[in-house]
Structure 1
Amino acid sequence: MRIGLPSADKVHGGSLKALVVTVLLSGFMFQLLRTVGLRAFSMASETYTSGTHSAAFVTCPNDTVAKELARGIVEKKLAACVNIVPAITSVYEWQGKIEEDNEVLLMIKTRSSKVPALAEYVRSNHPYEVAEVISLPIDQGNPPYLKWIGDIVPE
């Protein structure tokens, strides 16, 4: 095993290789960062008015009901997207008794102006006597995603 500094010709050749690799990688990274940076800039420059869109929540007794409701909601343009969250447990009071049921949760992204029509659709198509439909305004989010919701769901 040799301990010490490498010879001058090895340093010179190694340095040249390192310089070439650094220049090539720098050019590639510059282009990549420029592309990502421009994308980040364009996302940041889009504006969003807080509360224009809402996330609504509906519980369903099973996956079949959840999928039927979700499909109808999206087909009727009451929402841009419905996530189906399986296997939640709900504990609640109903008619004087504490109940515990397995349910499926719908997480619905829509325009705030569509929440009343969404609630009416759910009430008309849901098997529960009193269907849960609650919504929360979206304060902030990814501007292109929020724009997409607005593009999909008409005023």
Structure 2
Amino acid sequence: MPATTPDVVVVTTTHETEDKARALAAAAVRERLAACAQIHPIRSLYWWDGEVQDSAEWRVDLKTRTDLADRLTAFIGAQHDYETPEVVVVPVTAGNPAYLEWVAAETTAH
């Protein structure tokens, strides 16, 4: 990957409804904290309150610059109604340079 390729990450969170996932994704894109987001229906199994939970959820994958990851994480926390929302930041180690440049451009104030 060329040194000039922007540093990009994927920030993932979940919501219990599609409407809430869409609202969060739209707000993050509108605020230029993410260039784009994909929303996927998923099934989550996890420990909570001392037992295994089995829930339908909606996963939101937001593409952004590495230097915006902390701001986006805080934004998600402020918007979220889960007590402990999932927020995972995964580095993009390679990709289409034109796409990565687009992510960087769309997350820069215009």
TM range (shorter): over 0.9
1:60-114: CA deviation from partner (whole Å, max 9, x where unpaired): 101010011001000111000010112x100000121111100000011000111
Q: In the alignment, which residue of structure 1 is the partner of 2:19?
A: 64
1:4-41: CA deviation from partner (whole Å, max 9, x where unpaired): xxxxxxxxxxxxxxxxxxxxxxxxxxxxxxxxxxxxxx
Instruction: Name structure 1 gaps, 5 residues minimum.
Output: 1-43
Structure 1 residue runs of 4 or more that deviate by more than 2 Å after TM superposition: 44-47
Amino acid at match of 2:24: L
Q: CA deviation at 1:154?
A: 2.0
Counterpart CA distance in 1 for 2:62 and 2:2 is 26
Counterpart CA distance in 2 for 1:148 and 1:123 is 26
| Higher helix fraction (1 or 2) | 1
| Higher strand fraction (1 or 2) | 2
Q: In the alignment, which residue of structure 2 is the partner of 1:9?
A: none
Name the TM-score, length of structure 1 as normaliser.
0.66
Amino acid at match of 1:134: V
Name the TM-score, length of structure 2 as normaliser.
0.92
1:76 aligns with 2:47: no
Q: CA deviation at 1:46?
A: 8.7
* Preserved contact between residue 47 and residue 143 of structure 1 (Cα < 8 Å): no
Equivalent position to 1:123, from 70, 77, 92: 77
Q: In the alignment, which residue of structure 1 is the partner of 2:86?
A: 132
Q: Which has the higher relative contact order, 1 or 2, with Cα contacts under 8 A spaced 6 or more apart?
A: 2
Counterpart CA distance in 1 for 2:84 and 2:47 is 12
* Preserved contact between residue 60 and residue 104 of structure 1 (Cα < 8 Å): yes
Instruction: Name structure 2 gaps, 5 residues minimum.
Output: none
Amino acid at match of 2:70: P
What CA RMSD, in Å, does the superposition of the two structures yield over aligned residues? 1.8
